[in-house]
Structure 1
């Protein structure tokens, strides 16, 4: 079992900087998640399947907790403000993106709709189908959140 680093004064009696305290806190959280994931019958199979020698499932869980998902691109070319339009979200993670949520705001910042995107079989991009009409799409804001198994969240917004 790993011992956690001490957050008391640093080397030679120097205080630990706030940046180092945040980094140590993140490492502790990653260790806690990895321990939890290895003992949980729902999480362990994901990390066991993803682990390749010499990486152990515990290490995969730790790395998954350490790195948040990325949203490199949101494709809004199919958005015209009509119900049935689709948005394509490209979200990546070192293991897997667990869910993608979408919010659409009008030009005044009022929420028009929110919902979960789906990942069609054999696709790498998530698809969100619009359900509410938006008569004036100028300055419409689309906000997307991608989440991985440990609960890391990444947000990205685009203006139409």
Structure 2
């Protein structure tokens, strides 16, 4: 890929030239690249799934950017040469990450807490915490609350658990496009 800087011959060009070159404009610059090869070989299952995911990303970006607050959120994160549309599309491709589920403050008493350390490239919008017995029976489940640091989410227990040792705590984090990440920890007192 080549970049044209104020070249009198290529200035303002865009689109396909002949059967060889494609001119595009990005951030006020003219970019020159080879024409994409669209061979007659049928796409592989992986190519089909990537194309479908790309279609979903485009649909998400178009729909979310019609919401002024969401558009503003993506626009404030743009860098030179990026658009809010590009960032919204990229958001679809990457799920949030949960780094840890901290269960040391969970004692089985009402008011004890579980902290979920999670991030997303753009924004985690919800974290759900579920607490199960050793036999995988649900004790309680609810939404965690984001803390001021924007990374930690705290769930406060609402049900008494007389036997918290050996319980399983599961966290499910979601981002704006609906991507999910989950992680579980064993309570050991």
Contact persistence 1:70–1:154 (CA under 8 A):
yes
**Is the 1:106–1:134 Cα contact (8 Å) retained in structure 2?**
no
Kindly indicate whether residue 141 of structure 2 is the aligned counterpart of residue 137 of structure 1: no
- Per-residue deviation, 1:54: 2.2
Higher relative helix content: 1
Structure 2 counterpart SS, 1:43:
helix
Runs of 4+ in structure 1 off by over 4 angstroms are none
For the pair shown, which has the larger CA radius of gyration, 1 or 2? 2
Give the TM-score normalised by the residue count of structure 1. Answer: 0.86
Is 1:28 the equivalent of 2:41? no
Alignment length (residue pairs): 150
Distance 1:39 1:50 in 2: 17
Equivalent position of 1:128 in the other structure: 155
Q: CA deviation at 1:122?
A: 3.9
- Partners of 1:57 and 1:12 in 2: how far apart? 34
Paired residues for 1:9-158 under 5 Å: 11-13=39-41, 15-158=42-185
> How far apart are 1:20 and its partner, in Å?
2.2
Q: CA RMSD in A?
A: 1.6
TM-score relative to the length of structure 2: 0.73
What is aligned with 1:5? none
Uncovered stretches (5+) of structure 1, i.e. residues with no partner: 1-9
Instruction: Report the alpha carbon displacement of residue 91 of structure 1 after superposing the two structures with TM.
Output: 0.7
Partner Cα separation in structure 1 for residue 116 and residue 159 of structure 2: 18
Structure 2 unmatched ranges of 5 or more: 1-37
Compare 89-98 and 19-28 and name the one that shifted more.
Answer: 19-28
